[in-house]
Structure 1
Amino acid sequence: MKSTKVLKTWNDIEFKLYVPKKIDSNNKIEVHFSFLNPETGKNKNIKKSTGIDRYASKKIYTEQANTLIEAMIELLTAGWNPISDTYPDYIKLTSQSKTGECIRSWIQLRTLDLENGIIGQEELKTTVFLFNFYSDFLKKNNVYMQKPSHFTVNDINLFMRTMERKRGLSPVTYNSYLYRLNFFYKFLYHERVITYNPCSVAFKYKTKNLKTRFEIFEPEELQMVRELLVSTPNYRDLLIACKFLFEYNIREAEQLRIKISWINWEKGELTIPEKVIERERTINGTKNGLMAKFQLRTDMLDLLEQYIGDKGDESNFLFGGHYKPGAVQRGKQFLSNRWWRFREDFKLSKNLKLYALKHTGNYESLEAVGIEKLSKMARHASITQTQDYVKSKLNREVIKIDGKVGF
């Protein structure tokens, strides 16, 4: 005689273990449950036997059935339709959503961000790595299926410390991972899945005065990078970006907004407006929200003309990908990714950071222009901020008293 036993109830779904009277190649031990068909509005009986050894002992096949049930519950949580064996394109998260479901939705959203050019491939890769690590941590501690509202700042700190220890994170990298985790929980907050973001008060390192934050290029490193960029046509766009950083203090995000029409070829000027439309939003064109006008040197104008050619459509963005201007604005990691590829191609040290060119340019210009003028050129909020960037040079300076009245 066949037997059925309810092994687990989840969200009003009863998962039953079905054991046939006679077990052979045509009669399997199965897990049965009813699922509401969204197309017909009627329940359909679902039968699954994956991973259940029909010839095992009762204890073993019951354990295997329970494992199968847990796997199916996770799939159902993610929106799996066992009738069509498909997933929905979009799942609306609620306050009842489990953390695993939220993580899957977040990765799906960030993948769409990549497709829309909002983030780069490296950012998505880093995000996936972080949340795989986070998922493993939650599963190991049996809380993967808990609601996100279950977690406190202490849980976040424990996870971050665990990752720091296992991965050997530097303070800056630690903070960057915490930032991405915080971004995820902000998303859940705005989706009304949680009412409190546990990352908002989590521990983070103070990196303001870290030496690595203001690391600069040594003269021989700078010369090597310059020569490689000048001699490699496929990196002409990166050469322009590096000159903008080093000579003009134009930040990466600001550069990616530049359109050809912003260049006045007759006056030799580049103007970045106060406000720009970026991905259907009005934002500041510059970091401080003020218009910035730059007098371009002759060598820079010549380089831009060679790069742009006949100047093409003036509405094009200066950095359009494929070593030329284009109609579509590139994602915020575009120049960083170009730098990473350049560094890999020529096997350069990973310690050479793109943004450090801006610090190096300030460092090299300090003696020639003075701290006050340098602060204005860099568009810093205060001289103190400029001093932070050139502190290593100030610390090395020998104090000379030439011209000072003797005692």
Structure 2
Amino acid sequence: MRRKKLFRTPYLYDAGGDISKSWWIELGYRDPKDGKMKRKRYQEELSLLKTKKARREKAEELIKIYTAKLSKGWTPLDDIKNQVVYEDELEYHEAARVYGRKRKANKNIRFYGSEYISHIKARKAKKTFESYRGKIREFTSWLEKEKLVDNDLSTFNNNTIFQFFEYLIDERQLAKRTVEKYRMTIGKFFTFMIGQNIIIENPVHDIDLPETDEDFSAMPFLDDDMEKILPVIREQDPQLFLAALLQYFCFVRPGNELLNLQVKHINFGARTITIPKNIAKKRKERVIDIPTQLFDVLQRHGIHTFGKEMFLIGPFGRPGNRQIGTNTLRTRFNKFRDDLDLSKSYKWYSFKHTGAGKLLESGATIVELMNQLGHTDITSTYRYIRQHFGERSEHVRESFPSPRGFEP
């Protein structure tokens, strides 16, 4: 059966060397939906360059990149990537079936993750294999949330990996040994991809993790540091200020819960916030009391005047019809923290931990703290207290007997 080539080699159109005109790189690819050869031109990067030499050098570089990608099966179509270079003509006559199969076989991180998991299944003990599989799935899930999952693997650089590990540390609150296992597993996956000639460099490097005896958890603010950062945030970024107070007073988790919180979830009459189960961490709905200080801030921000379906933390510094990016608030907080030269142990989560500690110090019962945190059992609350604040005893601090002969 005659076979059709799926692409034409990229070439440079240079307008006869006239840099006052548009130059572009043109390539051809076959659309698997209708079997027809299509053209694609790229000219943006070339148009920014003002000399013939610069344009030709850039064109040579881009032609190599596009040729390599096309050779691996990539096409410019957003939803069809990395097909084989040749395909039977018969398959084009059954375009719908082919297209459906191609979508299932897209060679993105899902495809290669599955390939890697299959590779190690027979080489690892069952428990080790399940650990590897779980971590690759977690990485893929995070990429999906960040809308990066369909990107070419070559675009995953060290910054992408660093953001994933920030997520594990700041939002997932994983223990140091667990995070180190993630680093090893994800690193081995990309090493495998190098061996398969999919990528040329492992992006898992220079991950700045704490030393062995250091805690990954976000550190609660010291009073002096809170006095430095909170007024500055309030003055310069009122939305970030509100988001910080939602953590501090109501322990709204700054990831999925905060970003999905809508105006309708705030009951101004009862002065409560409802976290519905579809966005709650443990898929269990909880109702949180709003302390007076936060309630006043919500009213000053006019939250009650916005549409019920609007996201409380929306774009443009006010409630909106769409969510902001997953890392937006954390990035804005980090800038304030770094500009004030505060410890990097302070994370976006630190407001939540600080509020929990202050509520505990104010004389609140363990049950009150448990309910406000949204814990389902008191054991989790005790574990939380020990992790973030240590074992505390008013009796030890104030009533410890002095040794004989001690002069204070």
Matched letter for residue 376 of structure 1: N
In the alignment, structure 1 residue 370 sits paired with structure 2 residue 365: yes
CA distance in 2, matches of 1:258, 1:73: 44
Corresponding residue for residue 229 of structure 1 = 233
Deviation at 1:326, TM superposition (A): 0.7
2-structure distance, mates of 1:319, 1:352: 22
Choose which of 287, 290, 299 in structure 1 pairs with 2:284. Answer: 290
Alignment of 1:247-266 (within 5 A): 247-252=249-254, 253-266=256-269
> What does 1:138-149 correspond to in 2, within 5 Å?
138=191, 142-145=195-198
TM-score, normalisation: structure 2: 0.52
User: What per-residue deviation string (whole Å, max 9, x for no partner) do you get for residues 161-210 of structure 1?
Assistant: xx45xx254269xxxxxxxxxxxxxxxxxxxxxxxxxxxxxxxxxx9x96
| Count of paired positions | 274
Aligned to 1:91: 80
Match of 1:127, as an amino acid?
T
Give the SS at the match of 1:270: strand
Matches within 5 A, 1:298-317: 298-308=292-302, 311-317=305-311
Match of 1:126 among 153, 159, 170: 159
Q: Residues 248 and 377 of structure 1 are in contact (CA less than 8 Å); yes or no, is this contact kept in structure 2?
A: yes
Q: Which residue of 2 aligns with 1:213?
A: 217
**1:72-119 per-position Cα deviation (integer Å, ceiling 9, x unaligned):** 454321425xxxxxx33332567988789968xx99x96995599xxx
CA distance in 1, matches of 2:189, 2:282: 41
Q: In 2, are the aligned partners of 1:248 and 1:294 still within 8 Å (CA)? A: yes
The gaps in structure 2 that reach 5 residues or longer are: 7-27, 38-62, 83-101, 113-138, 150-155, 165-185, 400-408
CA contact (8 A) 2:288 2:372 kept: no
- Please state whether the residue corresponding to 2:197 is helix, strand or coil: coil
Structure 1: gaps (5+ residues)? 1-10, 14-34, 43-67, 81-86, 117-122, 147-158, 173-206, 275-283, 403-407
Mapped partners of 1:299, 1:263: distance in 2:
15
RMSD of equivalent CA atoms: 5.1
Q: Could you tell me the TM-score, scaled by structure 1's length? A: 0.52
Describe the shift of the 1:343–1:78 C-alpha distance in structure 2 as closer, same or farther (beyond 3 A).
farther
Query: Alpha-carbon deviation of 1:37?
Result: 6.2
Q: Percent identity, aligned pairs only?
A: 22
Runs of 4 or more consecutive aligned structure 1 residues displaced over 4 Å after TM superposition: 35-42, 68-71, 92-103, 109-116, 128-131, 133-142, 344-347
- Conservation of the 8 A alpha-carbon contact between 1:317 and 1:328: yes
- Shift of the alpha carbon at 1:344? 4.5
Counterpart of 1:342 in structure 2 is 336
Find the residue that maps to 1:212 and give its secondary structure: coil
How far apart are 1:266 and its partner, in Å?
Answer: 2.9
